[in-house]
Chain A
Amino acid sequence: MTRNLRIPGIVRGSRIQFFFNGREITAFKGETVLAALMAAGIKTLGVDPHGKGRGALCGMGVCYQCRVSIDGRPGRRACMAQVRAGMVIETEKDLP
């Protein structure tokens, strides 16, 4: 990423680390998984049955397009889940 996508001048929670597809990513306590991933420049959250990427749409828990596997639990909405230290997040391949 060329630039930090976190808006400067905001008091945030404590710094934590989590994993996305094996890659270690820094986030702040209190952020949603979606916010933490978007801030790291990650937009592709899953793979559709045709092999195409799938990303967040509504950002408010309605469309279920941002689902990811969190700590082995499939189908969690990234926009509604809060990021936690050590969380293991993985993209899912959708069933045909």
Chain B
Amino acid sequence: MDDRKPPNSQRAASKTAHTSDSLRLRAKARQIRLDILDMIYTAKGGHIGGAFSSADILTALFYAVMRFSPETLATGEGDRFVLSKGHACEGYYAILADRGFFPRTELASFLQYKSRLMGHPHPKIPGVEVATGSLGHGLSVAVGMALAAKLDGRRERVFCLAGDGELAEGSIWEAASAASHYRLGNLTCIIDRNGLQISGPTEEIMDPEPIEQRFAAFGWHTTDVDGHCFEELTAALHRTHGEQPALVTAHTVKGRGVSFMENQAGWHHRLPTVEEYHQAKAELKGHPC
């Protein structure tokens, strides 16, 4: 097994997000939330709460942290991404379209008959490598990707975005063991810690805390950040920690960006009425972020 130091430990210092970068990322995130709203409103389906809570994490990853484009995916020279919380696919699709994997106009086909853009990602969608949506699967797949890179001595990082509700899945902990066992310093798992799952607060359904102590006990390096602050997100995501896999707990607000959706479990997958749609759109456009 290759013991080469994982990449990006030097990149961190030089790439700490500056204010101008944060402004750029905020503008991107605003556009992505508007795309999410339109997709869900048009399709009359989707998971708006988690899509909004994870929108800033995805923006930081795809526009500031990862080397990821149609070219890097084709040549195998970029970083890799697995959306373990596959139901938060709307923002992922909006970003893939924006990054040139498929036309932006295709977003309007979300959930439509014969569309590629189903309610959970799958590899027939350009840019998506693996199907996700059954919770608890993504981290194992990411471990396999990170292990392959390590075996081949490739300077590749693998990022996995998981939900806090899915930490109840046993397979997450099988993968957590394997990641530290194989010393996968090139693997980063981000938890979208919005505190709510479909039936209510995570603490009431199946308490995932203490998340960081649990991962630390499995041999991971852990950090927690404000999941809506680009400075904190990009700084934490750029950093690697030798051979330790990294866990970044991103504290987020479910439904973030629209006042009446924020912190409401009901907005896990509720659909906006026409009035709510217009109000949400107005808030997102004028949102100070």
Co-complex (A, B): no
Binding site for B on A (CB under 8 A): none
